[in-house]
Amino acid sequence: MARIEVNHIRHSYLPNPAKDSDFALKEVHHTFEDGGAYALLGPSGCGKTTLLNIISGLLYPSHGQLLFDGRDVTRLSTQERNIAQVFQFPVIYDTMTVYDNLAFPLRNRSVPEAEIDRKVRETLEMIDLADWAKRKARGLTADQKQKISLGRGLVRSDVNAILFDEPLTVIDPHMKWVLRSQLKQLHRRFGYTMVYVTHDQTEALTFADNVVVMYDGEIVQIGTPAELFERPRHTFVGYFIGSPGMNFMPVSVDGRTARLGDQGIELPGAPKEATGAMELGIRPEYVRLGRDGMAVSVSKVEDVGRHKVVHATLEGRDIAAILGEDDEVPAEPRIRFDPAGINLYADSWRVDLDRSGGA
Amino acid sequence: MDKPWNNKAWFLVLPVLVLVAFSAVIPLMTVVNYSVQDTFGNNVFFWAGTEWFEEVLHSDRFWAAMGRNLVFSFIILAIEVPLGIFIALNMPRSGWGVPVCLVLMALPLLIPWNVVGTIWQVFGRSDIGLMGYYVNAIGIDYNYVRDSLDAWVTVIVMDVWHWTSLVVLLCYAGLVSIPDAFYQAAKIDGASRWSVFRYIQLPKMQRVLLIAVLLRFMDSFMIYTEPFVVTGGGPGNSTTFLSIDLVKTALGQFDLGPAAAMSIVYFLIILLLSWVFYTVMTNYDAER
C-alpha cells in the first residue's frame, strides 16, 4: 500500500499541445492517502480514465510527477509500480480456466505455487466463483467474467493500489450492489488504497470516503459525500450530484439580500466577495413548498416512490422541489428557501457567506 | 402459426438452379459419363464400369503425384502460417504505415496466377533471371530446370511469396479486433511478450487462422498454373502435382476415361477434406 501523490500533472494526447483545451487533463494536484478509498466522479470525457491510466502507468503524463510514498515513479512501467487495475469491460483469458485466470498475475511474478493456490482459493471465495474454478472462462456470462477481472485485481496482496475503471458497468443492479459492498468490506479488512472511477454518483458516494469530482480535465472538488451534497464548490458539482441536481438561478446580490426578478431572498450571511456573474444555488431538498413565500406555478409533479419531485416556475425560471410522498401540492403554491441550503456562486465557484449574524 | 403453402416459390430458385446446373452439375455429369466408359473418338463409347477407377487407385503415378501434393501442401503451410503470423504481429496498428503495409501485402494477391508463374520463371532463370543469376554468382549451383530440389525450392518460394499475404491479412484482421484493454490488462498482470501472444493474440486469431489454413490447404492441393508455368511438372515428374498429372493424362495422352476417373477421385478427396474442415470449424464455433 502506498500514498499516491499526483504532483501538478498535465496530460495531452496531442504531440504538441499549445492551448489549454488541448489537454485532456489540465492540471491535477492531489494526494491519495495510504489506505484511502477514493472515487473519481465525473461525466464521460472529463479525464478521469486518463488520470487513472497515468497512476497505473499505462500512460505517461506530458507534465508533472507521480510519487508513491515519496518515490518518483513517473517514468516507471506498470509492472515496476506494482498496481492492480480493473477495466470497464471484462478482460479474461478465455483459453484458461477460471482458476488459471486468477493465478496468471501471480505466476507472472513467480510467486510460489502453494502461495498462489492459497490466494486464488481465497479470491474465488470472495467473488463467489469457487464452484467454477475448473471451468474454462470462455463460456461464462458477462458479470461472471467481470468478477474474474475483479478477482485478478484483488488476488495480489502486495499491490500499491487497486484502481477500478467503471468496473460495474456491465453488471446488473442487484449484483452491482453486492459487489460494491464486498469491495468496501475488502477495503476495511485489508486497507488497500483504492481509486474507483465512475460516472454514477450513487456508486461514488456509497463506495468512497472521499469523492474527487472531475470536470473538463480538472478536479473541481474533493470531499466527503456530505460535503459534496451540502456545499458544492462548483456549480457543476451541484448539478451533477443529487437527483434532481441543484437549482441555480442568476441573482444580483445586495448585502444580505439576493434579488431574483421582483423577489428578494434573504441570505444566511453576506458574501465575502460578490463580483462576477452571481448565482444562487439550492438543492431541491431545501426548497419548501407551502402556503407562504414566493408565488410559483407548478408545471409537473413526478412521483419517484419515496418522494415527489415538483417542477415549478419561479420568475420565469424552472425550479425543482422535493415534496414528501404524502404531501399535497397546495392550491396556490408558494416556495420558501431553507437558509441552511442556500449557496452562492460567483462565476460558477462557490463564495463563502459570512454566517456570523445569521443561521 | 399457419404458413402459406405456395409451390410457386420454387420458381424464384429456378434461375439459380439452372445456373448451377450449367456451371457445375452438367459438366460434372459429363466427367462421370467419361469415367465409366471407354472411347476411341468419333463419339463411340464402350461401357467400362469401374475399370478406370481401379486403374487409377492402383496407379503408382497417381499416388506419387498425391504424395508430392501432400508434401507440398504441408511445407507451404508450415512456412506460410508462422511467417504470416509473424508479419501480422509486426505490422503497424496505426499511422501512415497501415495503408502502406496493407497495399504491399495485397499486391501479390492481385497478380493473376499465370503471371506469377511467368515472373518466377524468368526471375529464377540462371542465365538471365535476376535471382537465378545472382544465386549462381555467389557460388550456389542453382538451376530449377535441371535439379529437382531447385525446382521444389523455386515452386515453394513462389507460393510463399504469392500467398503468405493472405495469412497476414487474415491474422491482421484478427489482431486489430482485440480491444486495447486486453493489452493493458496484460501489462497490469505482468504478462511477458510470449504470454500476451499465447493467451491473448493467438486465441483471438484462432478462428481466422483456421480459415487461413483451410484456404491455403485447399488452394495448394489444387495448385496448377504457377508450377505448370515455371517447371511444367519437371524436371522429370518431380513437381508434377495432381492437377498437372490430370491435365497430362487428359490432354497430353488423351486418356479421357482414366482422367475422368482421376478427376472424380480428386474431387471426392477435396470434398472430404472440405467437409472435415467445415465440421471442425462449426464444432469449434459451437464450443464458444
Asked if the structure places residue B205 within a domain, the reply is: yes
Residue A79 touches partner B, C-beta closer than 8 Å: yes
DSSP code at position B37: E
Distance CA B265, CA B260 (A): 9
Per the CB < 8 Å rule, is A104 touching B189? yes
pLDDT of residue A79: 81
Tell me if B25 is assigned to some domain: no
B189: domain CATH number? 1.10.3720.10
Q: How far is B246 from chain A (nearest CA, A)?
A: 44
Q: CB distance B190–A79 less than 8 Å?
A: yes
* Structural domain includes residue B66: yes
At residue A233, what is the residue type?
R
Smallest Cβ–Cβ distance between A108 and the set B182, B190, B200 belongs to B190
Q: Is residue B47 part of a domain?
A: no
Q: Is residue B261 part of a domain?
A: yes
Instruction: Determine the longest span between alpha carbons in chain B, in angstroms.
Output: 80
Q: Say whether residue A77 is in contact with chain B using an 8 A CB cutoff.
A: yes
Nearest CA distance, B210 vs chain A (angstrom):
16
Mean pLDDT of chain B: 85
Does the structure show a pLDDT above 80 at B48? no
* Domains located in chain A, CATH noted: 4-234 (3.40.50.300), 243-357 (2.40.50.140)
Q: Does residue B94 fall inside a structural domain?
A: yes
Task: Give the ipTM of the model, two decimals please.
Answer: 0.75
Reduced to 3 states (helix: H, G, I; strand: E, B; else coil), residue A352 is coil
A318 to chain B nearest CA, in Å?
Answer: 43
Q: How far is it, in rounded angstroms, from Cα A115 to Cα A113? A: 5
Mean pLDDT value across chain A: 84
Separation between Cα atoms, residue B192 and residue A56, nearest integer Å: 18
Q: What percent of chain A has pLDDT over 70?
A: 98
CA gap A151, A172 in Å, rounded: 18
Residue A328, Cβ density class (10 Å: 0-12 exposed, 13-18 middle, ≥19 buried): exposed
CA distance A106 to chain B (A): 8
Of A56, A88, A93, the CB nearest to B188: A56
Q: Measure in Å the smallest separation between the Cα of B179 and chain A Cα atoms.
A: 9
Closest partner CB to B188 (pick from A83, A93, A96): A83
The residue range of the domain holding B64 is 60-287
pLDDT at A9 exceeding the cut of 50: yes
Partners of residue A108 in chain B, C-beta under 8 Å: 189-192, 195
**A94 Cβ under 8 Å from any chain B Cβ:** yes
Mean per-residue pLDDT, B193-199: 89
Q: A95, B199: Cβ pair inside 8 Å?
A: yes
Q: Which three cell numbers, joined as nine digits, stand for B129?
A: 533471371
pLDDT for residue B288: 56
- Encode pLDDT of B203-212 as tens digits: 888 888 888 8
Is the Cβ–Cβ distance between B41 and B122 less than 8 Å?
A: no
In a domain, B86, yes or no: yes
Confidence (pLDDT) at B285: 66
Model confidence pLDDT, tens digit, residues A302-311: 888 888 888 9
State the average pLDDT over residues B49-54.
80
pTM of the full structure: 0.74
Chain-centroid distance of CA A120 in Å reads 30
Read off the pLDDT band of B286 (50, 70, 90): low
A95 to chain B: which residues are within 8 Å by CB? 199, 203
Count how many domains chain B has.
Answer: 1
Distance CA A122, CA A154 (A): 10
